[in-house]
């Protein structure tokens, strides 16, 4: 399990914020933030969103999303085999999207669910996994682009949510 306090300290430093500056944006003191960062005090769940919003750091969004949602979240891709350059991430998105589209072509979408056999249901699970791979790569590309271009992920998502509402999609 990740240590949210340590993640917060790293994110705050990446964003060039002091504990005092962050505390001014939250309903907690600088001392409380210090205790969160050193894991002397456990995060209050109702603060997850406020803290993530205030620190506005892509890596921290992923960490808190995973902590708050458990396994129903998208991981932050990082490690020895991940090249976080925008061109490399774009290539990953293309690869993962193509794999998902190829997998979707193998499924009979017209057949009623109640008529599908176990093998067909397993094929649907494979499709779901490929779609999740594609979605995760896309969200990671968004994070990389926000970081590279110094865009606020918070602002980008606000504009995106507003566009969803204007298209009358429920969000």
State which of 69, 103, 124 marks the end of a domain.
69
Q: Which residue has the tokens 């919003």?
A: 53
Together in a domain, 95 and 142: yes
Together in a domain, 136 and 105: yes
Together in a domain, 101 and 131: yes
Together in a domain, 102 and 64: no
Does any domain span residue 64?
yes
Q: Are 61 and 143 in contact (CB under 8 A)?
A: yes
- What CATH number should be reported for the domain holding residue 23? 1.10.260.40
What integer pLDDT is reported at residue 76 of this predicted model? 81
Together in a domain, 54 and 94: no
**Domain residues for 155?**
86-166
Does any domain span residue 138?
yes
pTM: 0.73
User: How far, in Å, CA of 94 to CA of 100, rounded?
Assistant: 10
Q: Is the pLDDT of residue 1 over 50?
A: no
Regarding predicted confidence, which is higher, 100 or 74? 100
The total of structural domains in the chain comes to 2
Q: What is the mean pLDDT of residues 33-52?
A: 88
Q: State the pLDDT confidence band at 69, using cuts at 50, 70 and 90.
A: low
């Amino acid at each position: 399990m990740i240590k949210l306090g340590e993640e917060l300290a790293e994110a705050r430093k990446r964003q060039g914020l002091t504990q005092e500056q962050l505390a001014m944006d939250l309903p907690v003191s600088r001392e409380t933030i210090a205790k969160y960062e050193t894991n002397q005090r456990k995060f209050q769940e109702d603060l997850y969103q406020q803290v993530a919003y205030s620190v506005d750091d892509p890596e921290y969004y992923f960490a808190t999303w995973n902590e708050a949602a458990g396994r129903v979240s998208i991981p932050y891709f990082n490690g020895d085999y991940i090249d976080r350059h925008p061109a490399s991430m774009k290539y990953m998105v293309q690869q993962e999207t193509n794999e998902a589209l190829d997998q979707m072509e193998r499924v009979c979408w017209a057949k009623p669910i109640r008529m599908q056999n176990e093998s067909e249901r397993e094929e649907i699970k494979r499709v779901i996994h490929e779609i999740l791979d594609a979605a995760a790569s896309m969200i990671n590309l968004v994070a990389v682009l926000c970081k590279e271009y110094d865009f606020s992920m918070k602002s980008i998502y606000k504009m995106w949510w507003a566009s969803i509402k204007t298209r009358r999609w429920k969000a």
